[in-house]
Amino acid sequence: MSNKRVGVIGGGQLAWMMATATKKLAIDLFIQTPHKDDPAVAIAHEVILAPIDDANATEKLAQKCDIITFENEFINLEALQQLETKGICFRPKLSALSPLLDKYQQRSYLKSINIPVPKFSTLEEFSSHNFDQRSEQAPSLHGGVISDFPLVIKARRHGYDGQGTFIIKNAEELNPLLKQIKNNALMVEDYIPFERELALMVARNTKGEIVTYPVVETYQKKQICHWVIAPANISETIQKEAKTIAKNLVTQLDVVGIFGIEFFLTSDGKLLVNEIAPRTHNSGHYTLDACDISQFEMQLRAVTDHSLESTQLNCLGAVMVNLLGYENSHHDYQEKRQKMANFPNTYVHWYDKTESRQGRKLGHVTRLIQDDTIEPQSIAKEIESIWYSEQ
């Protein structure tokens, strides 16, 4: 029997980490990506070098594949919809992606299906109010009124890893930002003084089978995820509520694939959905080493009509630490990587990117927890102390 042929739009580390699963599931991976040195190029059966939003290139990709799935969402949805009408199979289907790609539309959709979200508004609605720089009062937002700053302003499209997100503490910071912005493709939302940030991965296949991975805690600095602790130290009630929200979402959208869902947990125990990623997600990287079936295999299982199987941890827990760029350089950091790899039950995943820059994800490290007396935060700090040291 010949291998199943799967096309992936995007060639970054999320596609690269599918490599082990493609061998296990007998899948040939075809990649559409703009750069010949992108991580997934090395593991692809064939590569189409073209921008992510080049629908003509995607049509060529489709001629080689049975199914097309996504590594990122920076696509030209309208152009792809023309291809879908010709019978090209996208998973998730484009109608499942359509309400999610624009962050304002995503929030509006979530609210319409009774999924709790922070209060929000378009920038246009927000900036129609006259601001006095001496005033700390903010206007009403969807879902209620927020009485004061801070606020969060986000790019409605193409924002990731903290890019396109601004936390505004007062009117003195807001007014200059509004003046310098050239268009209104931004969303304004309530700033949530959360107790924790949480996330989970949820997958659904063509038969409607749904599985969820454990809820994890994420730790962010400047809107970039630095580490993930699996499972999150939260009540069973919160675990169940998060999983119910996830299952409701993928059922409503008739998803075939895997989604990442980010949550805020407020100090009074409320769960609010922050963002949806319609693909594999950084918060699920720990699954490569801490679960029998990784999120990357789960995505491929879902889109190729396999059963989904177990999402259980194969250890007590895990800590995943992102190796973020902290300088502009061309360096493989081999000595630091080796030091981290020498820790017990520790796995270093290096993405072989040729250029380091501030905040760029160059790799990640996962340490499995086999002893419940170990404090997960101490593991993360130990790994970061090596990575961010000057030597």
Q: What is the pLDDT of residue 30?
A: 98
Confidence of residue 363 (pLDDT cuts 50, 70, 90): very high
Confidence of residue 132 (pLDDT cuts 50, 70, 90): very low
Minimal CA–CA distance to 367: which of 194, 179, 228?
A: 228
SS3 category, 194: strand
Which H or E element spans position 376? helix 376-387
User: What fold is seen in the domain 194-387?
Assistant: D-amino Acid Aminotransferase; Chain A, domain 1 (3.30.470)
Mean pLDDT of 173-188: 71
Specify the CATH number of the domain 4-90: 3.40.50.20
CATH topology of 4-90 equal to that of 119-190? no
User: What fold is seen in the domain 119-190?
Assistant: Dna Ligase; domain 1 (3.30.1490)
Which range is least confidently modeled, 135-139, 280-284, 349-353?
135-139
Which two tokens mark 101?
Answer: 């790609």
pLDDT tens string 48-83? 999 999 999 999 999 999 999 999 999 999 999 999
Please give the Cα distance from 167 to 324 (Å, whole number).
21
pLDDT tens string 145-175? 444 678 888 888 876 655 678 888 877 777 7
Which two tokens mark 303?
Answer: 């889109």
Q: Please name the residues in contact with 69: beta carbons below 8 A apart, sequence gap of 6 or more.
A: 6, 7, 8, 9, 90, 91, 92, 257, 279, 299, 300, 303
For the chain, the structural domain boundaries read 4-90, 119-190, 194-387
- Asked if 388 contacts 363 with a C-beta cutoff of 8 angstroms, the reply is no
Q: Which residue has the higher pLDDT, 300 or 173?
A: 300
Which H or E element spans position 266? strand 257-266
Which two tokens mark 63?
Answer: 């001629």
Q: 55-64 and 77-84 helices cross at what angle (nearest 10)?
A: 40
- Roughly how many angstroms between the first and final C-alpha of the chain, as a whole number? 52
Matching residue, tokens 């302003």: 153
Cis peptide bond N-terminal to 150, omega within 30: yes
